[in-house]
Structure 1
């Protein structure tokens, strides 16, 4: 097991990038790697400690292939920090019962935002696919923020 850490700079102010993670309309517009989409009616987000984040990614070519996400926020600081935990005990070979995701938002020069995403504990065997998935999602987010 490892920590999956991804850092990405977005060409948008911090409050705008933060909103893209907590506004259901925006999450539906960008989340999921290319080839997957998130139906707006599947998105539920209550960004406060104890609040839920739930949605379902659906494969564009085969809608019977889905990947549901159901997490609980444990720490929220508006425009700065989102921390959530998800029960992953149902995922074969994951090797942990809970996955914690921490997303930090930092101001960068020129009105840009540095995002640092940490998922842990994370199975090393799944790291490459996860990095590619996040990178693909963030490419969609870049377009939304432009």
Structure 2
């Protein structure tokens, strides 16, 4: 199976300075407010971020499915850290029973005119296009929540 084709790439622009967007990925209080697709929570007491190479980037997404509580932990290790330009983390993921993937999340933060930021996100490799599209949708709704959080007066 060639997993190289199953890599998510997204570009998203934010109406906020690069430093603020970068910090939103590291501050547990902010992560709790925006991380996870609509309808999914990331409880503050289950977020740990150690902003350095070798540090952890951990959180647990929680939701109810047919009345039963569900959760999806993200347990990543930061492998590259160059604030406020670059954050790279690697995590083990188990999308299906018996399948373990090593996923890399690469976030590059580009300065734009007018105190805006362009985020380049690359994540993968996933084991299927279905997982790429589900992850794209999740990031998309998460970024909509982040837009709201970053609104300036």
Task: Give TM-score scaled by structure 2 length.
Answer: 0.89
Does the CA-based 8 Å contact 2:50-2:57 persist in structure 1? Answer: yes
Partner of 2:53: 49
Report matched runs for 1:33-72 at 5 Å: 33-59=37-63, 62=67, 64-72=69-77
Deviations 1:46-88 (A, max 9, x none): 0111000111111156561111110000000010000000012
Instruction: Count residues in correspondence.
Output: 145
Q: 2:150, 2:101 → 1: CA distance?
A: 34
Aligned CA distance change for structure 1 residues 102 and 78 (closer, same or farther; 3 Å): same
Correspondence 1:107 to 2:111 = yes
Correspondence 1:124 to 2:124 = no
Does the CA-based 8 Å contact 1:96-1:121 persist in structure 2? Answer: no
Does the CA-based 8 Å contact 2:7-2:132 persist in structure 1? Answer: no
Give the superposed CA RMSD.
1.7
Task: Give TM-score scaled by structure 1 length.
Answer: 0.93
Aligned CA distance change for structure 1 residues 67 and 109 (closer, same or farther; 3 Å): same
Structure 2, gaps ≥5 residues long: none
Q: 2:16, 2:98 → 1: CA distance?
A: 34
Report matched runs for 1:7-26 at 5 Å: 7-26=11-30
Q: Runs ≥4 in structure 1, deviation > 6 angstroms? A: none
CA shift, 1:109, in A, is 1.2
Q: 1:94, 1:8 → 2: CA distance?
A: 33
